[in-house]
């Protein structure tokens, strides 16, 4: 009887699109690459492989075998008692068997009508989302072996006060850190599996269990023995909610980078209340690259990397807009200047109407104004906001007029509804040095 109920609860669903570790059967390039990676793992002579503990190596081997559509190899590479005590290994074995079940049922063909339904239900139960830890580690290893040189598409320019940046890719459960080296070049210094909020999507409300999408900064860093049991050896809080979040009515607080509760080595990819967490044995080396106030944190999904073309085009468009804004400001032509502002604009307590009144009044009292901008940080927000695309621009501003002189760092948030619309200033504020 019980099984009648259970069977009735089976939801009609589309077969899941193959993704992640599922055998893609994709291009021959992928197949060739996967074969090469599997061989590298088996040979074990590359540094990226040699440094892996034995269990991790078996896990990555199983992951790449699943990717290449060889579930039997995956199952065989995970043997021994440790597999039973390791939730990720057990899950990889489960996925290997699930894929073998799909293959078997597919071979059974149209032997019986309902095997078709069975096949799609089997496919729907794809376990690969839970295997993102293996996927993230595999990608990190592949990038290391291949010497990946592409840079994140969203990082357009970095000012002298940025020492490092952290990319949190929620869809891939991967954290990549770049830091400025002695020659001023940014280099990839960490590439780790990261656990994010239990809820999917962007954070909106306190308690929704989601990790916020956007551009943040680490505010501080501390090792507090009182927190170690729950959050690991170091905690690094971010500045969520920032101006852009507040403009959109997002709330909640306390989004940190931290470790795992003591005694826990593995956690599933979506398992925090909104923070992002790393295993305690990886956290200290990663946190060493976090400089409060000088490290950016980009959080998004499927962050893009690029050889340079798209980044250059985006950067040029933003620079052009900011230069035009500077010139229109200097010209004391209030109407030309105010055209650069977004209808939803906020600066402190001022909306666009209040800002326009204020600026017209200031401009009318001046004979001349000189504005100089330097030391730019320009970062594209990987996420889409209600106003469209958003870019963060920061610079040092030198202002001089017949009756006022000022120097300081400023932040603008620009938005445009689509790629052919002009950038408009959504938020403007002065920031402490």
Distance in Å, CB of 255 to another protein, minimum? 20
Distance in Å, CB of 325 to another protein, minimum? 36
Task: Check binding of 129 to another protein (CB under 8 A).
Answer: yes
- What's the distance, CA 401 to chain centroid? 42
Q: Which stretch binds another protein (CB under 8 A): 10-18, 330-338, 352-360, 371-379?
A: 10-18
240 within 8 A of 253, measured Cβ to Cβ: yes
Contacts of 107 (CB under 8 A, 6+ apart): none
Distance CA 410, CA 395 (A): 6
Distance in Å, CB of 5 to another protein, minimum? 7
SS3 content of the chain, % helix, strand, coil (to 5): 40, 25, 35
Task: Check binding of 127 to another protein (CB under 8 A).
Answer: yes
Task: Check binding of 353 to another protein (CB under 8 A).
Answer: no
Distance in Å, CB of 89 to another protein, minimum? 8
Distance in Å, CB of 118 to another protein, minimum? 6
Scanning residues 15 to 44, which ones bind another protein (CB under 8 A)? 16
Distance in Å, CB of 132 to another protein, minimum? 11
Task: Check binding of 4 to another protein (CB under 8 A).
Answer: yes
318 within 8 A of 352, measured Cβ to Cβ: no
Distance in Å, CB of 74 to another protein, minimum? 12
Helix spans in 207-261 (H)? 225-231, 243-247
340 within 8 A of 425, measured Cβ to Cβ: yes
Scanning residues 261 to 290, which ones bind another protein (CB under 8 A)? 264, 266-268, 270-271
In the complex with another protein, the residue whose CB is nearer, 272 or 401, is 272
In the complex with another protein, the residue whose CB is nearer, 16 or 373, is 16
Q: Say if residue 241 is preceded by a cis peptide, omega within 30 of 0.
A: yes
Task: Check binding of 11 to another protein (CB under 8 A).
Answer: yes
For residue 183, count CB atoms less than 10 angstroms from its CB and return exposed for 0-12, middle for 13-18, buried for 19 or more.
exposed
In the complex with another protein, the residue whose CB is nearer, 149 or 200, is 200
Distance in Å, CB of 315 to another protein, minimum? 33
The DSSP string of 322-390 is HHHHHHHHHTT-HHHHHTTEEEEEEETTEEHHHHHHHHHHHHHT-S-EEEEEEEEEEEE-SS-BTTBEE
SS3 292: coil
Scanning residues 75 to 114, which ones bind another protein (CB under 8 A)? 84-88, 90-91, 93-95, 97-98, 100-102, 104-105, 107-109, 111-114
Distance CA 125, CA 179 (A): 40
At residue 218, φ and ψ (nearest 5 deg) are -75, 135
Distance in Å, CB of 162 to another protein, minimum? 35
List Cα–Cα distances, 20 to 29, 52, 56, 245, 359, in angstroms.
Answer: 16, 22, 18, 31, 52
- Total number of residues that touch another protein (CB under 8 A): 58
Task: Check binding of 7 to another protein (CB under 8 A).
Answer: yes
In the complex with another protein, the residue whose CB is nearer, 8 or 353, is 8
Distance CA 246, CA 215 (A): 13
Site pattern 169..198 for another protein (x: CB under 8 A): -----------------------------x
**Which stretches of the chain bind another protein, using CB under 8 A?**
3-14, 16, 84-88, 90-91, 93-95, 97-98, 100-102, 104-105, 107-109, 111-115, 117-118, 121-122, 124-127, 129-130, 198-201, 264, 266-268, 270-271
């Amino acid at each position: 009887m019980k099984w009648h109920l259970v069977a009735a609860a089976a939801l009609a669903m589309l077969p899941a699109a193959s993704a992640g570790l599922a055998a893609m059967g994709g291009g021959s390039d992928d197949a060739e690459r996967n074969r090469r990676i599997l061989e590298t793992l088996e040979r074990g002579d590359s540094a990226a492989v040699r440094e892996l503990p034995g269990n991790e190596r078996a896990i990555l081997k199983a992951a790449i075998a699943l990717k290449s559509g060889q579930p039997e190899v995956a199952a065989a590479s995970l043997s021994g008692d440790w597999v039973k005590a390791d939730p990720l290994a057990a899950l990889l074995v489960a996925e290997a068997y699930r894929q073998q079940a799909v293959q078997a049922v597919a071979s059974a063909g149209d032997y019986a009508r309902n095997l078709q339904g069975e096949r799609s239900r089997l496919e729907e139960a794809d376990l690969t989302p839970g295997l993102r830890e293996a996927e993230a580690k595999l990608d990190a290893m592949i990038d290391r072996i291949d010497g990946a040189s592409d840079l994140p598409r969203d990082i357009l320019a970095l000012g002298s006060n940025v020492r490092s940046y952290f990319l949190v890719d929620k869809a891939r459960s991967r954290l990549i850190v770049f830091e400025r080296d002695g020659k001023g070049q940014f280099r990839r210094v960490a590439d780790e599996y990261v656990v994010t909020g239990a809820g999917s999507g962007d954070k909106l409300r306190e308690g929704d269990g989601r990790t916020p999408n956007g551009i943040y900064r680490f505010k501080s860093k501390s090792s507090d023995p009182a927190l170690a049991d729950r959050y690991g050896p170091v905690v690094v809080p971010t500045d969520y909610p920032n101006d852009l979040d507040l403009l959109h009515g997002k709330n909640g607080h306390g989004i940190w980078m931290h470790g795992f509760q003591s005694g826990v080595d593995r956690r599933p990819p979506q398992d925090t209340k909104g923070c992002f967490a790393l295993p305690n044995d990886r956290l200290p080396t990663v946190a060493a690259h976090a400089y409060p106030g000088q490290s950016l944190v980009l959080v998004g999904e499927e962050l893009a990397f690029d050889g340079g073309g798209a980044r250059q085009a985006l950067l040029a468009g933003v620079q052009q807009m900011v230069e035009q804004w500077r010139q229109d400001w200097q010209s004391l032509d209030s109407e030309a200047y105010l055209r650069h502002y977004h209808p939803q604009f906020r600066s402190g307590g001022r909306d666009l109407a209040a800002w326009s009144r204020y600026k017209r009044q200031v401009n009318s009292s001046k004979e001349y104004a000189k504005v100089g901008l330097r030391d730019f940080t320009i970062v594209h927000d990987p996420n889409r906001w209600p106003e469209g695309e958003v870019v963060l621009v920061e610079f040092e501003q030198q202002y001089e007029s017949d009756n006022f002189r000022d120097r300081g760092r400023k932040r603008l948030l620009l938005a445009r509804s689509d790629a052919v619309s002009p950038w408009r200033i959504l938020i403007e504020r002065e920031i402490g040095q």
